[in-house]
Amino acid sequence: MTLRQTTLLIIAESLATFFSRTNPLRRLQPYSTSKENNVKDLLNGIKRTSDRRSFMKKSIVAAGAVTVGSALLGHELPAFAEEKSGRLTKGDAAILRFLAAAEILETDLWQQYNELGGIQDQEVPGGSGSPVYTAALSFLDGDMNQYIHDNTEDEFTHQNFINAYLAAKGADTVNLDHFRTLPSSAATGAQQIGRLTNLMQLTVDTSWWTRYRARNRNPDLDPNFKFPQAIPGLAAGQFPAIPRTDADLSPDDHIQAIANTAGFHFATIEQGGTSLYPSLAQRVTNTEVLRILLSIGPTETAHFQTWQDKAGNYKRLTDPTNGLVFPELNAPPFGGETFQTNLIMPEPVPFLSRKFPVCSIIRPTETRGAAMGAVKALTGDGLFIGQSPEFFALLRDLAEDADDARRECH
């Protein structure tokens, strides 16, 4: 059976199941984007049932193939069968499915960056570019548009490969098309299509900057230590990382602040992948699946390393429209090894135990709860503002299954 036939079979099976059962999601609490509705509420406020869990993952395949009408939501639903793992262990399939979802989300956000600030060509489905935004990004490096393009293409290949591998092993794949409901930027250059992620209200966590410089603090050994933010303002509000409309293209320091925000967000995203792959690899069973994680993970690190270097070239300024400050990190009250902008290699740090000599490593790499940690971090960044309760429930379920996976010895 060809890959396409396999995929169609999975879709057909899922559709049959979908139409014969009901959606329990009508019992979910309504979603609100209010400030009080924090990450914890978003991820935990949804009543969990085994029925719903299965529905989420089975229907997600179906949802990619048809438009799911709201009329379908409202009958009774018995429990669904578990999603298929095919010839993979249940744990390996769950880890790969979570990574497929993470890569689909990464692809969605990178495509938005590329449409406005990257190189427009046939390798990456594109918009038509925003010359003013692209110029502002080039303050960080003359090759920013090339790097954005290449990072975007890499993410497409990650999502496509992992799903194709799952399908080839007879396992259910992940398709999030049902959730492509968020608006595109209205700025000239962006395609007008539904999005999975929101780059226009980001609260960017820049603590990775100091986490990788701290010589005595490893998040895995010091889970309660709060690493300082490089750009405190970015973590204390909601800011666009792409122009929302053409009105955002001026004044100069405003569009530059948007480009600066993007520059830090690029590294925030990629340091997440840098930790996620080694964290999950520790619970993979099959050596080929392990090889997949060990081969994709370091490309996330290659991205992170590049973006950390470019972020340090941000333009020092205050956004005149909202007061967002990008301070000089090489001078007091910043400065020193914690903030110096050219320290882009990981400093050595205690690893596993303080009884060992310090070691230059990726961190964190704790495997317990790694997938849910990634979901919380992405949600905390505001990347999913506007998404539906079903979306958060699905992400949570995929993450829980990945975190339940255990390395099996044969």
Binding site for Fe ion (CB under 5 A): 103, 106, 155, 158, 270, 273, 300
How many beta carbons lie within 10 A of that of residue 159, not counting itself?
Answer: 21
> To the nearest 10°, the Cα dihedral for 94, 97, 103, 106?
-80
Question: Taking phi first (over 0 means left), then psi (-120 to 50 degrees means alpha), and beta for anything else, what does residue 129 get?
Answer: left
Q: Which amino acid is at 284?
A: V
Nearer to Fe ion, 119 or 269 (CB): 269
Nearer to Fe ion, 157 or 322 (CB): 157
* Rounded Cα–Cα distance for residues 301 and 276 (Å): 10
Q: How far is CA 19 from CA 9, 74, 171, 239, in A?
A: 15, 11, 21, 41
* Cβ 157 to Fe ion shortest distance, Å: 8
* Cβ 33 to Fe ion shortest distance, Å: 26
The kind and range of the H/E element at 326 are strand 325-326
How many beta carbons lie within 10 A of that of residue 390, not counting itself?
Answer: 22
Residue closest to Fe ion (Cβ): 158
How large is the C-alpha radius of gyration of the chain? 21
* Cβ 264 to Fe ion shortest distance, Å: 15
Please state the φ and ψ torsions of residue 62, each to the nearest 5 degrees.
Answer: -65, -40
Nearer to Fe ion, 117 or 273 (CB): 273
* Rounded Cα–Cα distance for residues 54 and 17 (Å): 11
Nearer to Fe ion, 273 or 382 (CB): 273
163 alpha carbon, distance to own chain's centre: 16
Listed residue (119, 265, 267, 283) closest to 197, CA to CA: 265
Nearer to Fe ion, 29 or 157 (CB): 157
Nearer to Fe ion, 62 or 104 (CB): 104
Nearer to Fe ion, 361 or 378 (CB): 378
* Cβ 281 to Fe ion shortest distance, Å: 14
* Cβ 303 to Fe ion shortest distance, Å: 5
Sign of CA dihedral 402, 403, 405, 407: positive
Cβ atoms of 266 and 307 within 8 Å: the answer is yes
Burial class (CB within 10 angstroms; exposed 0-12, middle 13-18, buried 19+) of 400: middle
SS3 246: helix
The kind and range of the H/E element at 90 are helix 90-117
Nearer to Fe ion, 22 or 160 (CB): 160
* Cβ 49 to Fe ion shortest distance, Å: 31
Nearer to Fe ion, 56 or 102 (CB): 102
> Token match 């009508």: residue?
26
* Rounded Cα–Cα distance for residues 398 and 403 (Å): 9
**Apex 391 CA angle, 388 and 396, nearest 5:** 135
* Cβ 181 to Fe ion shortest distance, Å: 22
Nearer to Fe ion, 273 or 350 (CB): 273
* Cβ 17 to Fe ion shortest distance, Å: 30
* Cβ 41 to Fe ion shortest distance, Å: 27
* Cβ 362 to Fe ion shortest distance, Å: 14
Please state the φ and ψ torsions of residue 248, each to the nearest 5 degrees.
Answer: -75, -5
